[in-house]
């Protein structure tokens, strides 16, 4: 594994996601207190970020395959900086929507970051490499919410400006320190073309060149999506990743709301809860999964993580107090910390080596679709049926993932 590029991609991802962690816990209260948004409107606001990722992630994945990972990462970071500046300057709900949508376009470059890791890691190391992005998310949620909670007392615009500063630091770091990785992937692919695959190797599990998916993935047409989902092993995993993100995203907008309305936490304390989730996620994805992956198959890690996530989601509204809630959130965080990088690694390892950016772009688009529909559904049932329903429905979806994953992964010859 090439340590230096991985360290740099981890650093810039962490710094950028620190800004994301600053603003995400305060968005519901910002929209409600500042602009009188309803619960459903809060869900739409949270979903707007992911809607832009849905539209632009496959495009960035396609362009990163053609132009390189580095320019896509840089441009995305620039758009993120602008989006956070507008977040701090927002004078209306419409402007707040615009800020989140622009940040979503910038954040769509995550497929390029994942493809970068695929470029500089060997297949057997990929789960640990993908775990670095998860660790960056986790660390962003360790420090970001604490910072956002502390700054929100000075006004909702201050966290937005702070997030812009951190993303600007990430942009400068990437500009001066991040090398291009695509040439490494091309060299590896050229070498692989000269070697005969070993018997039993899953060389046909990915999307072949003749499918045209890499050439057209930026369009994200329904036909191409269906074609990808029909691929053996990779297709079902793409569908499972969508279900994972949809089920978990039920709580994106509703967890801050249930925390303040039902549990009586302040905005600062909600930030601390998000920070606690980030601590457990960082420990899991940055260290625990590295150790576990040495002894346990990725498919087993995936199923176990989905089961823990289902339990954690379902138990949130029934926690009788702060300490029990922290235990539930710990279970939830360990589950997602094990499940997500395992799923990503399985997809990456069984996709064609020449189409990593394209396949991961489709995968991230499906994830973004889940993060669009999840908050909208969660906010709807929160307002229409009651505060427990986003968590109950999310837990049910993750339990469905456990069943489908078991059938898919153990059914593979």
Q: Is the dihedral of CA 362, 365, 366, 367 positive or negative?
A: positive
Question: 151 with 22: CB under 8 angstroms?
Answer: yes
pLDDT of residue 161: 96
CATH number at residue 356: 1.20.1250.20
CA pair distance 380, 75, nearest whole angstrom: 34
pLDDT of residue 199: 38
Provide CB contacts within 8 A for 65, sequence distance 6+: 115, 182, 214, 355, 356, 357, 358
pLDDT of residue 42: 93
pLDDT of residue 3: 54
pLDDT tens-digit series, residues 68-94: 889 999 999 999 999 999 999 999 999
Asked if the structure places residue 384 within a domain, the reply is: yes
Asked if the structure places residue 195 within a domain, the reply is: no
CA pair distance 116, 182, nearest whole angstrom: 7
Question: 256 with 365: CB under 8 angstroms?
Answer: no
pLDDT of residue 356: 60
Angstrom distances, CA of residue 258 to CA of 1, 22, 47, 75, 262: 43, 19, 18, 36, 5
pLDDT of residue 291: 77
pLDDT of residue 378: 94
CA pair distance 22, 24, nearest whole angstrom: 6
Global confidence as pTM: 0.76
What total number of domains does the chain contain?
1
Asked if the structure places residue 131 within a domain, the reply is: yes
CA pair distance 312, 325, nearest whole angstrom: 10
pLDDT of residue 183: 64
Asked if the structure places residue 205 within a domain, the reply is: no
Asked if the structure places residue 307 within a domain, the reply is: yes
Question: 396 with 311: CB under 8 angstroms?
Answer: no
CA pair distance 232, 93, nearest whole angstrom: 44
Pick from 389, 382, 249, 265: nearest CA to 325: 265
CA pair distance 239, 23, nearest whole angstrom: 29
Asked if the structure places residue 193 within a domain, the reply is: no
CA pair distance 99, 163, nearest whole angstrom: 12
Angstrom distances, CA of residue 129 to CA of 118, 184, 364: 8, 16, 17
- Taking 50 as the pLDDT cut, the residues of the chain under it are 1, 189-220, 413
Asked if the structure places residue 191 within a domain, the reply is: no
Angstrom distances, CA of residue 150 to CA of 278, 329, 359: 16, 22, 40
Tokens of 280: 């457990």
The boundaries of the domain holding residue 14 are 3-182+212-411
């Amino acid at each position: 594994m090439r340590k230096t590029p991985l360290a740099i991609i981890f650093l810039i991802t962490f710094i950028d996601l620190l800004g994301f962690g600053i603003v995400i816990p305060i968005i519901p209260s910002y929209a409600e207190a500042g602009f009188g948004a309803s619960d459903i409107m809060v869900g739409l606001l949270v979903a707007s970020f992911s809607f832009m990722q849905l539209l632009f992630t496959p495009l960035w994945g396609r362009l990163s395959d053609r132009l390189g990972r580095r320019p896509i990462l840089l441009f995305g970071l620039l758009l993120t900086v602008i989006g956070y500046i507008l977040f701090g300057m927002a004078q209306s709900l419409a402007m707040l929507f615009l800020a989140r949508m622009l940040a979503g376009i910038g954040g769509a470059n995550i497929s390029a970051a994942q493809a970068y890791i695929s470029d500089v890691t060997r297949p057997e190391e990929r789960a640990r490499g993908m775990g670095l992005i998860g660790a960056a998310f986790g660390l962003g949620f360790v420090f970001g919410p604490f910072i956002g909670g502390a700054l929100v007392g000075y006004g909702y615009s201050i966290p937005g400006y702070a997030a812009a500063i951190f993303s600007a630091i990430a942009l400068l770091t990437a500009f001066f320190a991040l090398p291009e990785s695509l040439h490494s992937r091309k060299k590896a692919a050229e070498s692989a073309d000269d070697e005969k695959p070993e018997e039993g190797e899953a060389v046909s599990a990915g999307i072949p060149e003749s499918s045209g998916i890499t050439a057209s993935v930026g369009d994200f047409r329904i036909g191409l999506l269906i074609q990808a989902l029909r691929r053996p092993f990779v297709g079902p995993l793409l569908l499972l990743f969508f279900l994972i993100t949809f089920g978990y995203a039920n709580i994106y907008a509703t967890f801050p709301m249930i925390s303040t309305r039902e549990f009586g936490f302040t905005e600062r304390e909600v930030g601390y809860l998000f920070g606690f989730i980030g601590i457990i996620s960082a420990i899991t994805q940055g260290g625990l999964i590295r150790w576990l992956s040495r002894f346990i198959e990725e498919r087993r890690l995936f199923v176990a993580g989905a089961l823990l996530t289902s339990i954690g989601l379902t138990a949130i509204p029934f926690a009788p107090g702060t300490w029990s809630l922290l235990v539930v959130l710990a279970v939830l965080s360990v589950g997602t910390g094990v499940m997500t990088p395992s799923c990503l690694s399985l997809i990456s390892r069984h996709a064609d080596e020449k189409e990593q950016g394209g396949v991961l772009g489709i995968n991230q688009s499906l994830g973004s679709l889940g993060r669009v529909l999840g908050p909208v559904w969660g906010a709807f049932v929160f307002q229409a049926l009651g505060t427990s329903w986003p968590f109950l429905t999310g837990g049910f979806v993750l339990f469905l993932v456990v069943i489908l994953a078991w059938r898919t992964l153990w059914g593979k010859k």
